[in-house]
Amino acid sequence: MKIKSLYLLLFLGLTAAAGAQKFPEHLSEEPRNTGPAILFHVGAGTHLPGGDLADRFGQDASVGGGLELITGNHFLLGAEGHFLFGQKVKEDPLAIIRTPQGDIIGTNQYIASVVLRERGYYLGGMIGKLFPIGKKRSGLRITAGAGVLRHKIRLQDDSQSVNAIAGDYAKGYDRLSGGFALNQFIGWQHLAANRRANWFIGLEFNQGFTKSLRDWDFAEMRKLEGSRTDLRFGIRAAWTLPFYVGNAEKIYY
């Protein structure tokens, strides 16, 4: 009887201890995403051009990512980069080598298949702040940054038959431009307490103060002088992978 009573007491004690133990899935009332963390973003966006950029290109798309530190009081500090690409090019730097009918003749004496595309990138640093709504670490995300914007016209010769735009000759037509740029974002960021659903989405604005980076433009038969103001505004969304850092026993992701 004494042994059975001892087993019963031991069983009741273990049951009570298990009931008092807080496992991760039971911590929704005490979220562990309140401390400093490293946030890794991967996302995409679409933007409309403005300023001088609207004279050269149409709507673009972009993919990219970023790496940020978020502090315990929700300040953000990091870096980001985006690759830009678009299908619509409004300028025609190849007009000088086209026939009166608008075609380009390749070295094989056939009409070449040449299309123009937009390509570019933005790289920069950023600072900002997350303004949580209520007790959760989700709310209004506002950031501002500065970096470098570059863009050019890609000469896509599908026929591989136009020597005039092959190799370094393409530099005389691609109108590569670049310079200092500013970037702003305002939107909603969600950092889940269970760290399973982390994302942000919002409006993004980009201002590039650029100039031509080529010494000569074949179509204009001169170097393109003057400064440019290249504007972009649109929507960006990203998936976030957070790495929360605490003491040696509390590192979560």
> Is residue 249 over pLDDT 70?
no
Across 50-66, average pLDDT: 98
Q: Give the span between the Cα atoms of 1 and 62, in whole angstroms.
A: 75
Across 88-96, average pLDDT: 97
Of 69, 30, 39, which Cα lies nearest the Cα of 253?
A: 39
> Is residue 60 over pLDDT 90?
yes
Better pLDDT: 104 or 26: 104
Instruction: Report whether 62 contacts 84 (CB < 8 A).
Output: yes
Please indicate, yes or no, whether the overall pTM of this predicted structure exceeds 0.85: no
Across 153-182, average pLDDT: 96
> Is residue 64 over pLDDT 70?
yes
Domains and CATH numbers, the chain: 34-252 (2.40.160.20)
Across 91-105, average pLDDT: 95
Across 142-169, average pLDDT: 96
Q: Give the CA distances from residue 98 to residues 60, 70, 151, 157, 162, in Å, rounded to whole numbers and listed in that order.
A: 26, 54, 24, 14, 11
Across 60-70, average pLDDT: 98
Q: What is the pLDDT of residues 2-18, one digit of tens each?
A: 444 444 443 444 344 33
Q: Which two tokens stand for residue 147?
A: 């970096």
Q: What is the pLDDT of residue 122?
A: 98
Across 182-186, average pLDDT: 98
Across 25-46, average pLDDT: 74
Q: What is the pLDDT of residues 187-199, one digit of tens each?
A: 999 998 876 789 9
Q: What is the pLDDT of residue 193?
A: 80
The most distant pair of C-alpha atoms in the chain lies apart, rounded to whole Å, by 108
Burial of 58 (0-12, 13-18, 19+ CB in 10 A): middle
Q: Where are the beta strands (DSSP E) in the chain?
A: 37-51, 60-70, 75-86, 114-132, 138-157, 177-191, 198-212, 227-245, 251-252
The number of C-alpha atoms within 13 Å of 66 and in the hemisphere containing its C-beta is 28
- DSSP per residue, 65-131: EEEEEE-TT-EEEEEEEEEEEES-B---TTGGGS-TTS--B-TTSSB--EEEEEEEEEEEEEEEEEE
Q: Kind and range of the H or E element at 13?
A: helix 2-20
CA-based Rg of the chain, rounded to a whole angstrom? 28
Of 183, 170, 76, which Cα lies nearest the Cα of 122?
A: 183
Better pLDDT: 33 or 201: 201
